Structure formats: C-alpha cells, structure tokens
Amino acid sequence: MNQEQINLGDHTHEEMEHMLTESLDIGDPGERIQVLSGHFLATGYAESTLTGDKNTPEIFVINLQQVDCMTFIEYIEAMRLSASFPEFTANVKKVRYKSGVVDFYARNHFFTDWKEFNADVIDDVTERIGGKRTLSIRKKLNEKEDGTRFLPGIQPVVRAISYIPSETIDIEIITQLRTGDYIGIFSHVQGLDVSHAGFIVRHEDTMYFRHASSQHEYRRVIDQDFRGYIASKPGIIISRPKKHN
C-alpha cells in the first residue's frame, strides 16, 4: 500500500467538492478546464514536489500548494474528469501513472506519454492542426547526448514526435486551437520531448497560455499571451481533451 501526502493548499476538502460539482454543468471539456484552472491562478511554482525515484519508494502526492508545469496540468486534467474529491484522487493516479499504478517506474514522466497511455481521454491533434507544416522526428527519450539518463532507472524509449514549428504558426493554426488544448513546448534537446507544458485559455478575443511558470519573475501559475510566448520557442505539440461521460 502506497503512502499518501495530500496538500490542498488554500482550498478545503469541502471547497474542492463544491468546485468539482459546480463545474459538472459545463459540457465542453475545454471550458471546464478553463473554469477549474482559474481557481489555481497565482498558485506557487516549485520543482520536485513528487516523491519517488530509483532509490526511493513512490509516494502518492497531491500538492495544490505548489506545482510545476507537469503536475499542474495533471491536477487540472484529473479535476475535469471528476465529479467528486474521491474521483479526483483516483483520476490523478490514472493521469499520472500507467494503468493507475502508483510506482516511479509507471509514472508518465514525459508529455508525450499522455498520448500513449491516456489515449482514452486525450487526443494528439498536432498533425491534424499543423497539416503540411508539421515536422516529425524520432527521439530516444530519457537519453542524453553523452549516453547518461535524465531519470536514472527509467529505460529510454524511442518515440516518433510530431510538432508544429513556431515560425509557421499563423492565424490559420491559431483559429484551430481550442480552449483547454494542452500545449507541450517542443524541445530540440536530445532525450527530451518538451521543455514545458500548459494549456490554452481565452479571454474575450485573446488567446493565452496558462501554465506554472518557472521564470524567476513569476514562479507561479499565470496567463501569458500565447503568440508572444511561443514566438521564441521551437514549436508546439497539441493534445486535446476528449469528451468524458
């Protein structure tokens, strides 16, 4: 039986229940993501909030006090699938771990793990949206140029990764993006698929990138102008939440 550490930050158990049940009337998955995630704007950024590695037993962690870019989207995706707090905890396990098994070796360590192991709730729409602009590359995830690993103990995996180069993203691409689309910022670094992740939200006519920013001037969950943010980035990978019954 795995140990558990649950920290709801500024939210009580009752507030979480209310938040989830109140959003059940929102049928569109993206709109639900936007509403739920809005409760966590300004949540502090912190790395390494999960416990577990090749030498340390995995502990099941929910930490809404501090998040990194990946745990933030894990929690929000789990919330949008849930009607109650017990469902939320179960869905964090389902989103974070292969087959929901709480184990360091079963953890989805990479953004593109979602399309492999959460395909029932997430759809990779990168090629559909990018069309001929989409580039594909085969990468050996978790293996650095010198042959060492980013995550000791995790076997490298060869994966075909499709992304849309930022310089090709124009209004035709932008208009196809939806609120709630999960965006991975493609990385040219050998062994990594993305360098960062967040999702699309809209305020009136403007598209924003909602994410847990590690930049020293922010270090919290913020909204940034999407086109401005990605202009200097190599490209994007897009995963779209599927409708959940």
Q: Using alpha carbons, select from 206, 227, 110 the residue that is nearest to residue 164.
A: 227
pLDDT tens for each residue of 144-195: 999 999 999 999 999 999 999 999 999 999 999 999 999 999 999 999 999 9
Secondary structure (DSSP) of 5-72: EEE-TT--HHHHHHHHHHGGG--SHHHHHHHHHHTTTTPEE-S--SEEETTEEEEEEEESSEE-HHHH
- Residue 128: partners with Cβ closer than 8 Å, 6 or more residues away: none
Mean pLDDT, residues 6-28: 95
Amino acid at 48: S
Residue 211: per-residue pLDDT: 98
What pTM did the predictor assign? Answer: 0.96
pLDDT at 228: 96
Determine the pLDDT at residue 1.
58
Separation between Cα atoms, residue 112 and residue 126, nearest integer Å? 11
Q: Tell me, what's the pLDDT at 204?
A: 83
Q: Give pLDDT tens digits for 185-237.
A: 999 999 999 999 999 999 888 999 999 999 999 999 999 999 999 999 999 99
**Full set of structural domains in the chain with CATH:** 4-106 (1.10.3670.10), 113-241 (2.30.260.10)
Residue 85 has phi, psi (to 5 degrees) of -65, -40
CB 88 within 8 A of CB 37: no
C-alpha 185/C-alpha 150 separation (Å) is 18
- Give pLDDT, residue 203: 87
